[in-house]
C-alpha cells in the first residue's frame, strides 16, 4: 500500500470507531480481516496513524474546525507528526486510493490554525469532565502533564536478574541500540521506528530464554517500590498476566513464598508460561466460582501487592482510545473495586505486615483518596515511608500518601504507589 492509501484506510478505521463506539484494536482487526491484501507493515502503519490521531483527537479537531475522521487525521498529521500543509496535500492527491484533495478551508486551518486559545481539555487532549480531578493532581502543570500523556510511549524491557544482567543483555541485543532506563536499575529502552513500532522482541533469543520481559519502566519501578524481600511471604493479589509477579519473583531471588491470584481467572491464563520462561517459582491460585483462593492465608502475608483495577488513565499513551471511552460511571465502579481489594489485602496481611497499593492512574480518586478511605476504615493501619524511592525523589511527584509517576516527570506511564503497614 502507498502512504496515501494508508491514510485512506486510517480514515475508514476512525469512522468505524466513531460510528460503532468500539475499541480501536477491534476496529483495526476487522479492517485487516476484510482487507487481506494489506501486509503486516501496512497494518502496523495504519494502526500507528489511528493511534496518533486518537492521541490528538481533541486538539486536531480544534485546529481543523471540525471533528470528522478525515479532519482529525489531517490535524494529527500536522500536530503529532509535524507534517506541513504541503506535505499533507501531496498525500491527499485524490488519485488511486488516496484521500481527496485538501479544500481551501483545510489548507487554511493547517497553515493558520492555532491552539493558542484552546481550553485546557483541548490543549491537553483529555475528556473535559475529568478536568477537576486532573487539576487536583497537577495544578498549573495539568495541560503539560496531559500533553505528555498524548505522546507515544517508549518500548522498555526489564532484565530478569534470575537469568542475566543488564549489561549482558544489552550486549546481546546491541543491534537494537538499547540504552539503560533512566530510573529503573533493571530496564533497557529501545528506539521506536517512524511508524511507532519497535523491534520484534518476543521472537528474539533473549526473550525466549526468559532473560527479558516487555515492561514499562514505571511498572518496573512500581514493583521495586513494593519492597518485596527474599524470604518473605508475598501475595500478588491482582496478578493478571503476571508482569509484576515476575518482577517480584526476581526481587525475592527464589527465596520465600510468592503467590499470585486474580479475581478474573481469565486474566491469569498467560502467567503459567511466563513464570516457566522466567524461572520464577510462584503458586498460582486460580479462583473457582465464589471460592476464596487465598482463604488459608489470612493474616499470613508479609507483603500484599495490590496492582488495583483502575481506569488506566496513566496508560493513555499506549491506549489513547480508552480516554475517549472513559465515563464517570467507570470511575465510580473502579473506586468501589479498589476499596474491596484493599480490604481483602488487609485481611491477608499479618499484624505489622505491609500493603503496596499500585494503580496505573493519575486520578486522585483512585490514588490518595482510595488510601484515605482505607485508613478511615482501618484505624490501625498507617502509611509507610518508601526508602527505595530516595533515588527517584528528583523525578516523582510526592502526594499526601504516595508517589505519582508521569510521562512528563519520569518518562514512564502514570503509576501511583503507596505503602501501608497494618
Mean pLDDT of 91-107: 93
pLDDT at position 24? 94
pLDDT at position 201? 95
Q: What is the mean pLDDT of the chain?
A: 95
Distances 282 to 168, 270, 358 between C-alpha atoms, Å? 26, 14, 20
pLDDT at position 92? 95
CATH 3.40.50.150 domain extents, the chain: 224-421
pLDDT at position 347? 97
What are the grid coordinates assigned to 367, written together? 490514588
Q: Is 262 annotated as a binding residue?
A: yes
pLDDT at position 52? 95
Q: For residue 195, what pLDDT band results from cuts at 50, 70 and 90?
A: confident
Mean pLDDT of 243-272: 95
Helix/strand/coil percent split, the chain, to 5: 50, 15, 35
Mean pLDDT of 18-36: 92
pLDDT at position 169? 97
pLDDT at position 67? 96
The string of pLDDT tens digits covering residues 315-351 is 999 999 999 999 999 999 999 999 999 999 999 999 9
CB of 1 within 8 A of CB of 42? Answer: yes
Domain 224-421 homologous superfamily, CATH: Vaccinia Virus protein VP39 (3.40.50.150)
Question: Pick from 383, 320, 319: which is nearest to 355 by CA?
Answer: 383
pLDDT at position 196? 77
Given a cut of 80, whether residue 40 has pLDDT beyond it is yes
pLDDT at position 131? 97
What percent of the chain stands above pLDDT 70? 100
Q: Which of 92, 310, 360, 422 is catalytic?
A: 360
How far, in Å, CA of 56 to CA of 76, rounded? 6
The string of pLDDT tens digits covering residues 370-381 is 999 999 999 999
What percent of the chain stands above pLDDT 90? 92
CATH 3.30.70.1170 domain extents, the chain: 155-214
How do 382-384 and 349-359 pair as beta strands?
A: unpaired
Q: Is 307 annotated as a binding residue?
A: yes
Residues 6 or more apart in contact with residue 22 via CB below 8 angstroms:
16
CATH label, 155-214, candidates 2.60.34.10, 3.90.1150.10, 3.30.70.1170, 3.40.190.10:
3.30.70.1170
Active-site annotation holds for 92: no
Amino acid at each position: 500500500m502507498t502512504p496515501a492509501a494508508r491514510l485512506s484506510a486510517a480514515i475508514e478505521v476512525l469512522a468505524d470507531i466513531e460510528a460503532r463506539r468500539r475499541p480501536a484494536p477491534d476496529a483495526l482487526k476487522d479492517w485487516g480481516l476484510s482487507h487481506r491484501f494489506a501486509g503486516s507493515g501496512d497494518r502496523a502503519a495504519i494502526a500507528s496513524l489511528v493511534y496518533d490521531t486518537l492521541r490528538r483527537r481533541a486538539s486536531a479537531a480544534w485546529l481543523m474546525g471540525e471533528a470528522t475522521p478525515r479532519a482529525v487525521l489531517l490535524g494529527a498529521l500536522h500536530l503529532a507528526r509535524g507534517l506541513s500543509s504541503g506535505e499533507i496535500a501531496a498525500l491527499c492527491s485524490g488519485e488511486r486510493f488516496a484521500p481527496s484533495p485538501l479544500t481551501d478551508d483545510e489548507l487554511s486551518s493547517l497553515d493558520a490554525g492555532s491552539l493558542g486559545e484552546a481550553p485546557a481539555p483541548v490543549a491537553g487532549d483529555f475528556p473535559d469532565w475529568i478536568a477537576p480531578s486532573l487539576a487536583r493532581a497537577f495544578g498549573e502543570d495539568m495541560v503539560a502533564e496531559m500533553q505528555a500523556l498524548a505522546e507515544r510511549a517508549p518500548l522498555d524491557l526489564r532484565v530478569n536478574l534470575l537469568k542475566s544482567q543488564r549489561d549482558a543483555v544489552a550486549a546481546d541485543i546491541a543491534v537494537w541500540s538499547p540504552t539503560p532506563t533512566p530510573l529503573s536499575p533493571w530496564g533497557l529502552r529501545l528506539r521506536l521506528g517512524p511508524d511507532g513500532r519497535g523491534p520484534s522482541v518476543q521472537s528474539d533469543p533473549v526473550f525466549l530464554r526468559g532473560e527479558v520481559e516487555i515492561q514499562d519502566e514505571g511498572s518496573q519501578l512500581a514493583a521495586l517500590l513494593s519492597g518485596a524481600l527474599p524470604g518473605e511471604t508475598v501475595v500478588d493479589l491482582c496478578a493478571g498476566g503476571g508482569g509484576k509477579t515476575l518482577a517480584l519473583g526476581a526481587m525475592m531471588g527464589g527465596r520465600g513464598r510468592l503467590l499470585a491470584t486474580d479475581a478474573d481467572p481469565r486474566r491469569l491464563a498467560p502467567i503459567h508460561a511466563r513464570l516457566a520462561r522466567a524461572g520464577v517459582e510462584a503458586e498460582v491460585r486460580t479462583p473457582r466460582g465464589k471460592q476464596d483462593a487465598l482463604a488459608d492465608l489470612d493474616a499470613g502475608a508479609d507483603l500484599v501487592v495490590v496492582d488495583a483495577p483502575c481506569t488506566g488513565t496513566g496508560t493513555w499513551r499506549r491506549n489513547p482510545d480508552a480516554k475517549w471511552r472513559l465515563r464517570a460511571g467507570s470511575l465510580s465502579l473502579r473506586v468501589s473495586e479498589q476499596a474491596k481489594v484493599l480490604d481483602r489485602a488487609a485481611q491477608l496481611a499479618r499484624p505489622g505486615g505491609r500493603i503496596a497499593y499500585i494503580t496505573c492512574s493519575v486520578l486522585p480518586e483512585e490514588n490518595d483518596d482510595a488510601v484515605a478511605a482505607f485508613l478511615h476504615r482501618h484505624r490501625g493501619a498507617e502509611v509507610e515511608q518508601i526508602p527505595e524511592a530516595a533515588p527517584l525523589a528528583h523525578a516523582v511527584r510526592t502526594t499526601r500518601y504516595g508517589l505519582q509517576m508521569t510521562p512528563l516527570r519520569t518518562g514512564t506511564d502514570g503509576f501511583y504507589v503507596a505503602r501501608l503497614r497494618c
